[in-house]
Amino acid sequence: MKKFVLPVLALCLLAALAGCAASPASSLSAPGGAASSASAGSSAPSGEVPGPTPEDPEEARLLGLAQEASGREMTCHLYLDMDRDGAAELLGVCLNPDTDLYEVWYCSSDGQTCALAEQDEESMESCFLEPLTLDGETHVAVNRGLGNNSNRFSILALQEGKVNCLVRWQPGMVTMTDAGDLLVKTFSLNAFYDTAVGGTIGLGETQSYLFYRDGTYGEYGAVELTEEEFNALQGAQDLMAGIEHALRFKKAERMECRYFLRANGILQVQCDLHASEGGVEYGFFTARCQDGAVDPASMGSFVGGQLESPLTSLEVVY
C-alpha cells in the first residue's frame, strides 16, 4: 500500500451555499443534548436578515441576551445542550459591520454569560452552524464560504463551562452524515479535463473524514490500494458491477479506477472517464469496508471531482 497524497488544488465553495436556506435548521429538539434553530446559516453581508423569533420562551430569552451583549441582531443561531447537562445553551451568528467579519456569540443556559466565542479571520460571504453529535457532548462546526473561491471551518465545544475552539480556520466545510461520520468537503474546478482549454474545469467536490479522540480532532488519511489488493476484498467485484451500472449512460471510451481506503472503514473509488476526443470526467464513489469485506449495498452516488488526502493541517491517521 502507499499513502495517497496529491497536490492540494484551489479551494472552491458552491455558490448555492450563500444564504440561510443552504443549511437547513436541525430537526432535533432542545435541551436534552440536541439542537433547535430557526436558521442554521447566515446570508451574505449584502443580504443580512435577522432570523425569526423562536417559539420556545427560554430560547427566545437567550437569543435576546446574546443580541443585547453583541449589540447586533443574530442572523442565525443554534439552541442546544452542548455539554449534555440537561440545559441548552445558545450560539448565534452576527455580522460586525465595522470589521465586515462574522462573529459567533455564546450565551450560557442560565443567561449569566454572554460572550464572543469566535470570529472570522477574513471577510466571508456566509456563515453556517452545524451541530456535531458525539459521545457525551455536542460540538458545533462553524462553516464559512466566500463565493466559489474559499471555504473554512472551525469547531467549537463547551467544556468545563467554557467555549473552546478545538479546530480553527481549516479548509473545507464539515457536516455529520446519517451514519455518524464527520465529513469534510472542499470544492475545486476539478470535475473535467477540457482539451480546448488544456486544463480542468467544472466545479467538483473533494471529500475526507475527521475523527475526535482524547479531546483532539484529526483526519483519516487515504491509503491507496493496488488493483490486486482491491480485488482481494470480499464484495469488490459486486461493487465494481454496481459502479459500471451507475455509469452506464456516461459516454466514455474507457475508465481508469483507483482505490483508497481510510481507517474509519470508508472505501472510495476514483473513476476517471476518458472520452474519445481526449476529455476526461472525474468522479468517485464511496462505500463501507470492514474486515476485508466491502458492502456493495452501501455504495453512494457518483460525486464529480477528484480525491485528495489530506485536506486539512490536522493530525492525519492512516
Which residues, at least 6 apart from 291, have a Cβ–Cβ distance to it below 8 Å?
A: none
Residues 193 and 112 reside in one and the same domain: no
Residues 52 and 110 reside in one and the same domain: yes
β-sheet bridge partners, residue 157: 164
d(CA 98, CA 18): 21
Residues 150 and 191 reside in one and the same domain: no
Q: Select from 176, 192, 227 the last residue of a domain.
A: 176
Residue 100: pLDDT above 80? yes
The tally of domains found in the chain comes to 2
Residue 20: pLDDT above 90? no
pLDDT per residue as tens digits for the range 42-78: 544 444 455 567 899 999 999 999 999 999 999 999 9
Residues 127 and 202 reside in one and the same domain: no
If you average pLDDT over every residue of the chain, what do you get? 88
Q: Which residue has the higher pLDDT, 71 or 26?
A: 71
d(CA 85, CA 59): 16
Of 26-35, 77-86, 267-276, 306-315, the poorest mean pLDDT is in 26-35
Residue 248 domain boundaries: 179-318
Residues 155 and 29 reside in one and the same domain: yes
Q: Select from 147, 176, 205 the last residue of a domain.
A: 176
Q: Flag whether 10 is in a domain.
A: no
pLDDT per residue as tens digits for the range 200-251: 999 999 999 999 999 999 999 999 999 999 999 999 999 999 999 999 999 9
Q: What is the mean pLDDT of residues 72-91?
A: 98
Which residues, at least 6 apart from 179, have a Cβ–Cβ distance to it below 8 Å?
A: none
pLDDT per residue as tens digits for the range 129-160: 999 999 999 999 999 999 766 899 999 999 99
Buried b (16+ CB within 10 A) or exposed e, 117-132: bbbbeeebbbbbbbbb
Q: Flag whether 5 is in a domain.
A: no
Residues 155 and 33 reside in one and the same domain: yes
Residue 5: pLDDT above 50? no
Residues 114 and 202 reside in one and the same domain: no
d(CA 213, CA 166): 12
Q: Select from 152, 176, 200 the last residue of a domain.
A: 176
E strand or H helix that includes residue 59: helix 57-70
E strand or H helix that includes residue 263: none
